[in-house]
Amino acid sequence: MHFDITSLDPCSNARAGVLHTDHGDIPTPIFMPVGTAGTVKAVHQHELRTDIDAKIILGNTYHLYLRPGLDTLRAAGGLHRFNGWERPMLTDSGGFQVFSLADSRKITEEGCKFQSHIDGSRHLFTPERVMDIERVIGADIIMAFDECCPGNAPYNYAKKSMELTHRWLDRCVARYNETEPLYGYQQALFPIVQGCQYSDLRKQSAEYIASKDALGYAIGGLAVGEPTEVMYQMVEVVNAILPQDSPRYLMGVGTPANILESIERGIDMFDCVMPTRNGRNGMLFTSRGTINIKNKKWERCFEPIDPDSGAEADRVYTLAYLHHLFKAEELLGLQIASIHNLHFYLWLVGEARRHILSGDFSSWKRGIVDRLSVRI
């Protein structure tokens, strides 16, 4: 696995590149649809390949460990064979899910004890255990186990959490180095920068993470409650330290405007549940702004959803039809909205890449970013 930078924007830190993996090449900047439990909700793999043309999708260690379980995944030959996705995959370590289980988990130096949200059974995730689980799942990119603390955490808590994440990382690296992939292709371990909203902690964490000589690096613990401008500031602090020739992954971010602002600051990879989750609730992201398709104003609007993004759904279905599907509570409405939103996100990062390659990313970004947040 390796990363090639093909173009740098002359007026910002934006860059275009290609991440080469054994399951295919990933052009960057890239957005990765979230397939938490081995599936992107309401979207078939065929649609991910054709309508959306996703280059890489995510799975989640916590959820896949609980269901279908490691025995099933190992017997299947890993997640790629289990769910029929032949392109690259990334697995989150489960750190964020641990963060979200505040009422049913206990974090210690050893790891994290937690109760399953499915049946209440008790489990222990240690850095070593998480590496073993991610070997069984078999994603191309695997994340180190970390603690994700709240965005407004007090300084002392954030510092202790960051230091614990660093100690866990050392154990992840040791386990990663003493084990081998199970299915005949390479897996790359990405460490995660933490430090909450404190610049000095982010700097310390980025320096520690960068010393690990990894194939790629992630920035975690953002978009969890801190102001947007603070998130951008932390990205700038971290990207000034992380190696320039490696991919940088901003975890769990975010809105279309967040993505463009972060690309401008040097981020290469993104994931977020927003396109599918918001789509299932009737919010459409378009090149003209956001649409609540449940509003009556769309009842007789026979225009395409978004003629600019070029999605098949946008050519076939009208806003009036999609409004009808949501009002009638037809499942097809959730599917069309999810496919449209994912296609829009992939179209957006594709346009960003195209403008980086042509040398006019900054001017293009200024012209579109404010429009993306408008409520139509």
* Active site amino acids: 92, 271
Q: How far apart are CA 83 and CA 209, in angstroms?
A: 32
CA distance 286 to 364: 16
List CB contacts of 184: < 8 A, sequence separation 6 or more: none
Task: Please tell me the total number of residues recorded for the chain in this structure.
Answer: 376
The C-alpha atoms of residue 329 and residue 185 are separated, in whole angstroms, by 43
Whole-number Cα distances in Å, 369 to 163, 298, 299? 36, 24, 28
Q: Hey, what long-range contacts does 251-256 have (CB within 8 A, 24 or more apart)?
A: 251/92, 251/96, 251/192, 251/218, 251/219, 251/220, 251/222, 252/96, 252/220, 252/222, 252/223, 252/224, 253/222, 253/223, 254/223, 255/372, 255/373, 256/285, 256/344, 256/345, 256/348, 256/372, 256/373
Closest C-alpha to 162, from 176, 172, 152, 149 = 149
Coil, helix or strand for 262?
helix
Q: What crossing angle do the helices spanning 199-210 and 228-239 adopt, rounded to 10°?
A: 40
Question: Would you state the structure tokens that stand for residue 311, as one six-digit string?
Answer: 């999605």
Report the alpha-carbon distance of residue 290 to residue 283 in Å, rounded.
Answer: 7
Cβ 338 vs Cβ 279: under 8 Å:
yes
